[in-house]
Amino acid sequence: MFFGAPTGLFCQLREFVPGTQSEIFQDALITLTVPELIPRSMRRLIASTVDQTMLCLTDEPNTVYVYQYLREQGQLYQASWTKWVFPEGTVLDCGFIKEDLFLLM
């Protein structure tokens, strides 16, 4: 589960993940390495149920922030952030159907 927390001009994003014991969960700050990437105006988080991908929409009309990660058996091996900018479009919404991403422009 992902959630955001506004901090000043930017937004921190966290992931709620299982801890070392089956009944205990912990949160991981997934924007630790990019604290000034996601604007405070975050309006929607979209997670894929197939791929290890999460999208973030903000009030920036032509931008989608993409978080991709590799987690196996509770261990995070790799994570990356990407910023997609569509110079001639406005992203109204987006969503996943299985492994396919659909953007409503």
The per-residue pLDDT for range 57-103, each reduced to its tens digit, is 999 999 999 999 888 776 778 889 999 999 999 999 999 999 899 99
Instruction: Give the pLDDT mean for 12-32.
Output: 79
Instruction: Give the pLDDT mean for 25-34.
Output: 85
Distance between CA atoms of residues 46 and 54, nearest Å: 6
pLDDT for 22 equals 64
Kindly report the pTM of this predicted structure: 0.86
Q: Is the pLDDT of residue 40 over 90?
A: yes
> Residue 67: exposed, middle, or buried by beta-carbon count in 10 A (0-12, 13-18, 19+)?
buried
pLDDT band at residue 21 using 50, 70 and 90 as cut-offs: low
